[in-house]
Structures are given as C-alpha cells and as structure tokens.
C-alpha cells in the first residue's frame, strides 16, 4: 500500500510530500531532502492491518 506523507526536513526545515510504502509493515529508510539534498531517516509505524499510524523524519546526527 502506498501513502502520501508530509515530512519536514530536519536539516533545512523545508516541508515536502513523499510516498511511503507500508506494504512491508514498520520500516526505516533513508530519503534525500529534495531541497538541501541531505539524507533524512524516515521511520514508518503501521498497525496490524498495515495501515500507516505514524511517521517521523530524523537527521541521525
């Protein structure tokens, strides 16, 4: 299942939309900010049915 989520870059503060694949359940992956190009670690949390419950973006500094 694909969901559109809105993230705020922890580096530059820019807000942007991206697509999250929740078909595999909870996930962590790295995506580059489309503005400053720095890596963002995205954390997805899903429920037992695979529905997206929460997400956050970290810079892992």
Residue 41 near residue 17, CB atoms below 8 Å: no
Q: What is the pLDDT of residue 1?
A: 83
Q: What is the pLDDT of residue 26?
A: 95
Query: The domain containing residue 14 runs over which residues?
Result: 2-58
Cα(30)–Cα(12) distance, rounded to whole angstroms?
A: 16
Cα(51)–Cα(23) distance, rounded to whole angstroms?
A: 9
Q: What is the pLDDT of residue 61?
A: 67
**Share of the chain residues as helix, strand and coil, in percent rounded to the nearest 5:** 0, 55, 45
What tens digit of pLDDT does each residue of 3-61 get? 999 999 999 999 999 999 998 999 999 999 999 999 999 999 999 888 999 999 999 76
What tens digit of pLDDT does each residue of 28-38 get? 999 999 999 99
Specify the number of domains making up the chain.
1
Cα(57)–Cα(61) distance, rounded to whole angstroms?
A: 12
Q: What is the pLDDT of residue 15?
A: 97
């Amino acid at each position: 299942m694909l969901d559109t989520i809105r993230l705020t870059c922890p580096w530059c503060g820019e807000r942007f939309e991206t697509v999250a694949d929740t078909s595999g359940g909870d996930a962590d992956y790295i995506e580059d900010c489309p503005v400053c190009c720095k890596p963002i670690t995205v954390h997805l949390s899903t429920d037992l049915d695979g529905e997206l419950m929460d997400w956050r973006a970290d810079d892992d500094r």
